Each structure stands twice: as C-alpha cells, then as structure tokens.
Structure 1
Amino acid sequence: MNYQIREEAGFRYVDEGQGEVLLLLHGLFGALSNWDGVINGFKDQYRVVIPMMPIYEMPVREASLEGLVAFIERFVAQKQLTDLTLLGNSLGGHVGLLYTFKHPDMVQRMVLTGSSGLFENSMGGSFPKRGSYDYIAERVAYTFYDPKVASKELIDEVFEITSSIPKCMSIVAIAKSAQRNNVAKDLYKIQVPTLLVWGLNDTITPAEVGHEFNRLIDNAELHFIDKCCHAPMMEHPDRFNQLLSDWLTRHPLAVNSLAGEEVV
C-alpha cells in the first residue's frame, strides 16, 4: 500500500492524483485495499477517490443501502466532487446505481464489476458463521477463482469483522436491504456510458447477471475475464486496468469537449 489514508470530517478515504474523478466504491466485505491496482494504475492521470463506507459502524436501524447512499451524498458534498466516473464492485456497484438514480447530473460514466442489484449469492450462499476461522477462510476463498488470492491478511480481516456481534448485525441488515432493492425496473434510467467487467467464473453474481445488466442498460459494454471470480480488479488487475483505460479513452467526459470551445 503506497498511498495515504486521509481523515476529514469523520470520513476515512483515499484521494490520489489529479484530474477527472474516479470515485471507487468497495463491497460488503471490501476495503480500500481492494482497489490497489486501480490506484496504482490511474493515479498519474486521474484523481482516484475511495471513501471507506461505514458498513460495520452503522447503527442497525440505519444499516441499509439507503443509509450508504446518504453517506456517499455527504462525502461527495464534503469533497465538492463533480463529473464523477463511478466504479463499484459488488455491493459498491449497487450503492453506485442507487446514487446515480438520485443524482444523474453528478455521474458522467459508470463502471460495474460483480455488482449486486439483480441477483447475488451472499458469501457464497450462506452467511457469516461466527467463531469458525476455517469457515471464514473457505468463504473468502470462494469469492476468488484462485484461492491463493485470499491472503491470510484478508481472511484475518473478515474473521475479525464477523467475530463482532454488532458488525454481523449490520452486515445482515445491509445484505437484506440489498436483496430488497432489486434495480431491474430502474436500469433504463442509466443513460451514461457504462462499462461492465465480470469474472467469467463469478460464483456470487454469476455471468448471466452481467449479461442481464448489459441487456437492461442502454449504453453498456460488457467484458468477461476468464479464470476470474467476483473481484476482477483484485484477481486480474492488469487486465482490468487495460479494459478500463481503453474504455475511458473511448468515452471522454462531455465537459472535456466543451472545455476548448470559445464562449461568445
């Protein structure tokens, strides 16, 4: 990790580079480190911003996708971000979609990878079993095609989270909220260019989910990565970055096309 985690007004976040804003949203068991490859690959050309979502700190009565969207709204306002390219993995994609439905003027481009919102298997079909390290190790490994990607550090982090009763209660509440918030009927509202990057071997949001997002979003482009599961940016960071870079180049921000025009 060669970036600084900043703290401001109650937010913990990464803010690296300058230029067009890439706002990255992690998943239910995600962390800032999930996006290491994207940070390193894009911070020289873009401003990469990643808020740490308060998934485990939210009071149970507020633990929901609506609560997370409200958090993103506050964060975007605090940092005065505009013209967003919004990237979301898993639950982060779901939150990003709901945010875009509410604030279509704020989002210029969208990238979804293994996003929930249509169908997902929570933790590989079951939910956190407290106190069993082997069980947590198995479930974390289930999210990757190559189990070796599930490092001891990552397993330890998830084990610590699921060992806390309040954190487990928040996770369950947010997962149930995600299941209630099916976005199929609203995806027609997404009119911005949308990149879909899916693991061909995704066990959480299977390949057919990627196809369904592609069918329901008008201006979408779908790519699969072979021998890849639920977090392409972690399992195949070079391939993910290549797809993202090519797509960003082919879909420049509308504001850029206006920047050189003379106003008379």
Structure 2
Amino acid sequence: MAFNNAPLVLIPGLLCDERLWAHQKATLEHSRPICIPDVSLDASIAQMAERTLDEAPPFFALAALSMGGYVAMEIMRQAPGRVMKLALLDTMVRPDDEARAKARRGLLALAQMGRFKGVTPQLLPRLVHPRCTGTPIADTVQAMAQTIGKEGFVRQQQAIIERADYRPVLETIAVPTLIVVGQNDEITPPAESEEIHRGIPHSRLVVLAECGHLPPLEHPQLTTQLLIRWLDESPTGP
C-alpha cells in the first residue's frame, strides 16, 4: 500500500454521524477507501474503539472529532501499529473535571427520564460559530442529533463520563499528527488542543478563525484541504 493512499477512517463526535464528514468523504473517497463507524451503538470508549478496529482496514489513516478523538486515543492505546497517520479535531485528552462531569451526569439523568431534546436552538451557539446559526449547517447538526436519539445519546454520554485519561498516550504517538481546533470552540477550547500539541512530538496545530466545535461542517473546504495536506505528508514527520 502506498503511504499517501492509505485508507481513511473518520470518527464522528457526540450526537454526530457520517453527515459530519460529508464534504471530506465526497472529496477523498475517489482516491482511497473511507470508513465512518457508527459510534452510537456502544456504551464505552473501548467498545467504540474495538468496533472501529473491526470495521477498519488492516492499516489506515485516522481522523476524529471530539468524542471521536477519545476513540482515536483508545485506538492508539489498543492498536497503534495499525494507524499510519492521526488527525485530532476539537478534542481533549484529560478526563472531565468535577464541574463538567456533574453537568454530563445531569444531562444523562434528564435523557433517561425521557427529556432528551437533541441539539436545541439554545445549544447551537455553543457548538458552532454564530455565523452558522440559522443556516443549513445548523439544520444538519440538529438532524444528526435526532437520528442518534435518546438511546444513542445515553450510551455516548456514559462512555464519555467513564473514559480514561489519555495524557500518558500522547508521548507514545510517533505517526504524522495534525491537530485542528476552532478558535471559538466552547466545548473543547483551544487550550485543550494546545496540550495535545505539546504532548505529541512533531505534531502540527492549526487554529481556525470564526469556527466553533465542528470544523468539518463549519469550514468544510478548509478542513478537507488540511486533511489532504496531512494525508500527503511523509511518514517521517510534518
């Protein structure tokens, strides 16, 4: 297999599905196989990683956003030899602090009581830059959440709450690594990506202006261009 033609695995985030990666898939699937696992079916990050590994080719480039980033880090712990390149978008590696964990448990309890509302108009400004509200981008975000639904949300939140601390994995990563974050991301702010960048030797960090938590939707062309450059990088580094 040519290094620069590696199959590509794209892992969505919380309440997201393959629509998150629509532009990237449409552009890149002509040059390589694309695999987008369903990460709404399992209740632990480890199980999500195992499902992804089962569905993926033997060797692949791996790009992941938010919760998908936790799955990617678990893959780097379980099967690092299968990953040829790594891209982490708007994610973090440290466990939740108590305030964030408490907020997640509150959302989980509400969902289990039947009060799951998906991504509401009130929540959208935390997920995307203000320029994206009231646009088809916002419609896609809300539609993905409705598709994942209450049961998928409960499984995903449980998995996130119980995830491991992936900071020790950072220094073990030796493949070309791209880190991308929206400058206006309120969910996983740029400081989280800066920590990942410091921890992974020879990684490259890109901060996107006028962008919230979902670069593949908010800046689809730019995100695709960044992934193409990353895929074209040599195995010796960025």
TM > 0.5 fold call? yes
1:117-136 matches, cutoff 5 A = 117-118=93-94, 127=107, 129-130=110-111, 131=115, 133=117, 136=120
Structure 1 gaps of 5+ residues are 1-18, 255-264
Identical residues among aligned pairs (%): 21
Distance 2:116 2:72 in 1: 32
The number of aligned residues is 221
Counterpart pick for 1:193 among 151, 171, 176: 176
Helix, strand or coil at the partner of 2:120: helix
Q: For residues 1-264 of structure 1, what are the structure 2 equivalents within 5 Å?
A: 19-53=5-39, 55=40, 57-58=41-42, 63-76=43-56, 81-118=57-94, 127=107, 129-130=110-111, 131=115, 133=117, 136-145=120-129, 146-149=132-135, 150-159=137-146, 161-162=148-149, 164=150, 166-178=151-163, 181-251=164-234
User: CA 1:100 to 1:134, structure 2 compared with 1: closer, same or farther past 3 Å?
Assistant: closer
| TM superposition shift of 1:172 | 3.0
For 1:174 and 1:134, how far apart are their aligned partners in 2?
18
Give the Cα–Cα distance (whole angstroms) in 1 for the partners of residues 95 and 205 of structure 2: 17
Q: Which amino acid in the other structure matches residue 158 of structure 1?
A: A
Q: Aligned partners of 1:104, 1:237: CA distance in 2, in Å?
A: 28
Structure 2: which 5+ runs fail to align? none
1:108–1:135 distance in 2 versus 1, CA, 3 Å: closer
Maintained 8 Å contact 1:119/1:209: no
Higher strand share: 1
Q: Is the 2:118–2:142 Cα contact (8 Å) retained in structure 1?
A: no
Deviation at 1:247, TM superposition (A): 2.5
CA contact (8 A) 2:183 2:210 kept: yes
Equivalent position SS for 2:122: helix
**1:137 counterpart SS class:** coil
Deviation of 1:253 after TM superposition, in Å, equals: 8.7
Q: What is the rounded CA distance, in whole Å, between the counterparts of 1:189 and 1:109 in structure 2? A: 13
Deviation at residue 135 of structure 1 after TM alignment: 7.0
Partner Cα distance (2:205, 2:145) in 1: 30
Asked which structure has the greater RCO (Cα within 8 Å, sep 6+), the reply is 2
Report the AA paired with residue 128 of structure 2: F
Residue pair 1:141, 1:148 contacting (<8 A) in 2 also: no
Q: Is the 8 A contact 1:136 1:158 kept in 2?
A: no
- Structure 2 length normalisation: TM-score? 0.81
Q: CA deviation at 1:33?
A: 0.6
Partner-residue secondary structure (3-state), 1:229: coil
- Partner of 1:240, secondary structure, is helix
Task: Give the deviation of 1:196 after TM superposition.
Answer: 0.6
State the distance in 2 between where 1:36 and 1:84 align: 19
Aligned residue for 1:212, secondary structure, equals helix
CA contact 1:101–1:190 (8 Å) conserved in 2: no
Moved more, 149-158 or 127-136: 127-136
Structure of larger gyration radius: 1
Q: Deviations over 1:122-148 (max 9, x none)?
A: 8x9773655475973322442101323
* Normalised TM-score (structure 1): 0.74
Write the distance in 1 (CA, Å) between the matches of 2:147 and 2:28.
Answer: 31
